[in-house]
């Protein structure tokens, strides 16, 4: 989970209908937040398009406003414009960082633009410890002085200088922090074992359009030659591969047929291949792909890894699929140790899942039975909604505020595809499920 949100609201699902039709996927949450932070690197007006209608964009907009930017959002047009001053402020407050861990992505741009960044430490969250050591060590190698003062990470540097950085793990967040710091540093920075996610490619593409010199984009070695200034641009956010992958699983689990538009199947190769192994038919279309499933899915093993490996953000959805599949599957989680917490909720629906460390053994059941369950983070919420779509009777998924952070217009899309789903606010719910 990317945040500790308030999680309000409930989705009430009645399982058993096939989902059929077309959904349009918008820009990626995990990209747009970083693109908004990257805007800080250039004074003037940056325009982002294909911006998803999710709460986290509002939180990032608020953060940027407090840093002195003017931010306008046109939700209908999916556009955000960010007016960046010559001298932005450099403090990211705890009240925003605690609501959205991704706020940490202002660290790199602020230290390189302002010579100082005071960013609240995010603290604990729902999917594990998620350290910042790789961000900090990389900035230190570039000459920044980084200390932890009163719960804030304070990074200072008159002028960052290029350095050779080797990441112990290809962290998405650390790669982004260091790329954004390096583009305005003095000299050449080499980041080895860099993350290669499509969202990293997206931010590098935007930075290059802004005037940055970056080589090796999409590979695990990024070579960045610092420039003295960048200019603002208009940039279209990469499609959300995790939302697209969630709809792909929705088609398979309900034995339906969903055309996923506005998506790039090449960003989901392994996940779509897994669905084929489960028995689904997956075909590319002009602007996405279509998934259809006639029979009960077959169990599929999954191992999460950094891109191009299987994404951890689709792991709960595949556990849900395996819960009703024919056979047993082993799911191995290599990124976030606490991500199996949601299987306790899935068990309330009758799923047979045993976890041992970072492995989960799922023995598929012919059916699940509806029950109240609680979403503890975005992707756990998605997994529970998918399970609720096939569980017999009614499933109430509490904590929908978490799901809202990653899935724009989920209820409307589900309803249009034939799902039986109603959203209730907290005032109408019957009380939290027993734990
Ligand atoms: C991003 C995504 C998240 C996704 C994850 C992995 C956003 C907002 N979130 O998270 O949805 O699940 O990538 O694809 O983009 N680590 C350290 N030290 C560090 C940095 C990371 O130990 O300095 C560890 C983390 O604890 C974790 C692993 O590295 O175990 C992966 O983290 P990372 O790739 O950085 O993920 P995020 O950028 O936090």
pLDDT digits (tens, 9 = 90+) for 77-93: 999 999 999 999 999 99
Give the span between the Cα atoms of 265 and 245, in whole angstroms: 9
* Residues 191, 326 within the same domain: no
Among 53, 58, 125, 326, the one annotated catalytic: 125
Give the span between the Cα atoms of 75 and 262, in whole angstroms: 17
What is the position in ligand 1's atom list of the atom closest to the CA of 101?
8
The alpha helices in 100-197, defined as continuous H runs, are 107-114, 133-141, 172-182
* Residues 231, 253 within the same domain: no
CA of 109 to the centre of ligand 1 (A): 18
* Residues 183, 62 within the same domain: yes
Residue owning the nearest CA to atom 25 of ligand 1: 130
122 pLDDT band (50/70/90 cuts)?
Answer: confident
Asked if residue 100 belongs to a domain, the reply is: yes
How far lies 117's CA from each of 120, 152, 153, in Å? 10, 9, 8
DSSP 1-35: ---------EEEEE--PPPEEEEE--B-HHHHHHH
Asked if residue 388 belongs to a domain, the reply is: yes
Return the pLDDT at 432: 47
Residue owning the nearest CA to atom 24 of ligand 1: 130
DSSP 409-427: THHHHHHHTT-EEEEE-GG
Residues 297-324, mean pLDDT to the nearest whole number: 98
pLDDT in tens, 243-288: 999 999 999 999 999 999 999 999 999 999 999 999 999 999 999 9
When the pLDDT of each residue in the chain is averaged and rounded to a whole number, the result is 93
Q: Specify the CATH number for the domain of residue 333.
A: 3.65.10.10
Return the pLDDT at 271: 98
What is the position in ligand 1's atom list of the atom closest to the CA of 171?
34
Return the pLDDT at 431: 47
Return the pLDDT at 407: 93
User: Cα angle vertex 258, ends 254, 260, to 5°?
Assistant: 135
* Residues 336, 376 within the same domain: yes
How far lies 251's CA from each of 15, 18, 123, 261, 431, in Å? 14, 8, 37, 14, 31
The yes-or-no answer on residue 125 being catalytic is yes
Return the pLDDT at 347: 97
Residues 44-67, mean pLDDT to the nearest whole number: 96
129 pLDDT band (50/70/90 cuts)?
Answer: low
* Residues 222, 300 within the same domain: no
pLDDT at 45 over 50: yes
Domain boundary among 207, 236, 265: 236
Asked if residue 339 belongs to a domain, the reply is: yes
* Residues 261, 160 within the same domain: no
Give the domain range for residue 249.
10-25+239-428
* Residues 305, 386 within the same domain: yes
* Residues 273, 306 within the same domain: yes
Mutate which of 35, 127, 172 for ligand 1 pocket (most atoms within 8 A of beta carbon): 172
Domain count, the chain: 2
Return the pLDDT at 115: 94
How far lies 413's CA from each of 87, 274, 379, 410, in Å? 42, 24, 17, 5
Domain boundary among 196, 219, 236: 236
Can you tell me whether residue 125 is helix, strand or coil?
Answer: strand
Among residues of the chain, what percentage have pLDDT more than 70? 94
Return the pLDDT at 127: 46
| Residue for token pair 């190769």 | 269
CA of 422 to the centre of ligand 1 (A): 33
Asked if residue 4 belongs to a domain, the reply is: no
What is the position in ligand 1's atom list of the atom closest to the CA of 176?
38
* Residues 227, 267 within the same domain: no
Domain boundary among 220, 236, 252: 236
Pocket (CB within 6 angstroms of ligand 1): 2, 30, 33, 102, 128-135, 169, 171-174, 312-313, 335-336
What is the position in ligand 1's atom list of the atom closest to the CA of 135?
23
CA of 171 to the centre of ligand 1 (A): 5
* Residues 177, 54 within the same domain: yes
Give the span between the Cα atoms of 117 and 128, in whole angstroms: 25
Asked if residue 2 belongs to a domain, the reply is: no
Asked if residue 351 belongs to a domain, the reply is: yes
Give the span between the Cα atoms of 214 and 166, in whole angstroms: 17
pLDDT at 108 over 90: yes
Return the pLDDT at 425: 76
Return the pLDDT at 424: 87
pLDDT in tens, 384-435: 999 999 999 999 999 998 888 889 999 999 999 999 999 987 555 444 444 3
């Amino acid at each position: 989970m990317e945040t500790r949100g308030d999680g309000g609201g409930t989705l009430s699902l009645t399982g058993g209908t096939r989902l059929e039709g077309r959904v349009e996927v918008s820009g990626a949450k995990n990209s747009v937040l970083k693109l908004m932070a990257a805007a800080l690197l250039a004074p003037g007006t940056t325009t982002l398009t294909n911006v998803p209608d999710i709460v986290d964009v509002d939180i990032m907009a608020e953060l940027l406003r407090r840093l002195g930017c003017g931010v306008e959002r046109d939700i209908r047009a999916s556009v955000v414009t960010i007016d960046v001053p010559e001298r932005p402020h450099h403090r990211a407050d705890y009240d925003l960082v605690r609501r959205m861990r991704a706020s940490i992505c202002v660290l790199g741009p602020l230290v390189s633009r302002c010579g100082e960044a005071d960013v609240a430490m995010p603290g604990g969250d729902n999917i594990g410890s998620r350290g910042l050591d790789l961000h900090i060590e990389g900035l230190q190698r570039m000459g920044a002085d980084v200390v932890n003062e009163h719960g804030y990470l304070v990074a200072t540097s008159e002028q960052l200088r290029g350095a050779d950085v080797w990441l112990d793990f290809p962290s998405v967040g650390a790669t982004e922090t260091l790329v954004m710091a390096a583009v305005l540093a003095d000299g050449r920075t080499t980041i080895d074992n860099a993350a290669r996610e499509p969202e990293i490619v997206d931010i590098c593409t935007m930075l290059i359009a802004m005037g940055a010199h970056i080589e090796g984009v999409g590979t695990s070695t990024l070579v960045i030659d610092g420039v003295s200034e960048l200019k603002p641009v208009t940039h279209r956010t990469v499609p959300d591969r995790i939302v697209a992958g969630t709809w792909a699983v929705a088609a398979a689990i309900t034995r339906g047929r969903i055309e996923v538009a506005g998506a790039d199947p090449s960003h989901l190769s392994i996940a779509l291949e897994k669905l084929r192994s489960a028995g689904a038919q997956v075909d590319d279309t002009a602007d996405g792909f279509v998934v259809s499933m006639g029979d009960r899915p077959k169990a599929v093993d999954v191992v999460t890894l950094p891109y191009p490996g299987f994404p951890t953000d689709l792991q709960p959805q595949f556990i849900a699929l395996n819960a009703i599949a024919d056979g047993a599957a082993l799911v191995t989680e290599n990124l976030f140790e606490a991500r199996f917490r949601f299987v306790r909720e899935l068990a309330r629906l009758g799923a047979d899942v045993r976890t041992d460390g970072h492995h989960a053994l799922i023995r598929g059941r012919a059916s699940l039975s509806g029950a109240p369950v609680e979403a503890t983070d975005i992707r756990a919420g998605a997994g529970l909604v998918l399970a609720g779509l096939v569980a017999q009777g009614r499933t109430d998924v509490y904590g929908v505020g978490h799901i809202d952070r990653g899935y724009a217009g989920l209820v409307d899309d589900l309803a249009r595809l034939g799902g039986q789903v109603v959203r209730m606010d907290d005032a109408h719910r019957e009380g939290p499920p027993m734990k």
